[in-house]
Structure 1
């Protein structure tokens, strides 16, 4: 039984370079997915903090118009959390399928098996999940921008309460 390295010794330098290039592609995608997940989690934490602050203000707000505005704001923030959770889920799927693609590449090089279909499927799923996560993240951005455009700032009494707390 020969080692996989002995087969590499008979290949040309171009074939070996192509093998290394192919093996590194999932690693770069995984790094990008990790960065996206960090971004999504940070944004989700900030929105959660805003929900807590708005809920505290809602407890203190006696004005009916202010309560209505805060309830609308909290509802919108909860929608954003849901959208960010979906983006995080697809980011996780992208990471898992990228790892699967890297594993299949490794298996193919060690076992010398025909793995093209698995590799294309896993890497394609990783790319699709990454694109979906980005699309859902853009939806969160639109939710955020829409609230600023349609509702404007919170009422003055609510803003002053926020400054004092």
Structure 2
């Protein structure tokens, strides 16, 4: 497991953008549309020919996966954003608010608490190069205090950073729910 301080120390980026997803009206609407489509496909399955069944089952799986908050990510390993993802705030490299967030992330590691709930990564900080390519991704779960990187690997963090980080992201427009 990576340590967040090492991760932050080795960041070389031009700007960062925060994103939010898997919440709010956009996600609610997506969920509603997918659930209706799943019902429609299930009805179609009842009268389908045998050769059509695998294709229809794959469609159902894909629709279910898209709205499964425990498996979906704001941005996946292929750098594809979830349909519910919204850009919240863009920071230039020297932005004081971003520097404050990086200082929070760089807090000396003292202890890690492991929550018993499965994480739901509804917030992300994405770091970009000057060529506008994604360099690093931090996916954040504020309900169980968990962070994953761009490779979907867990990052070791001191749980005390989460209230501070949550406050900073709310300041720039994230709609983080109270847990």
**TM-score category of the 2 structures, normalised to the smaller one:** 0.3 to 0.5
TM-score norm. by structure 2 comes to 0.31
Largest Rg, 1 or 2: 1
Which has more strand, going by share of residues? 2
TM-score norm. by structure 1 comes to 0.33
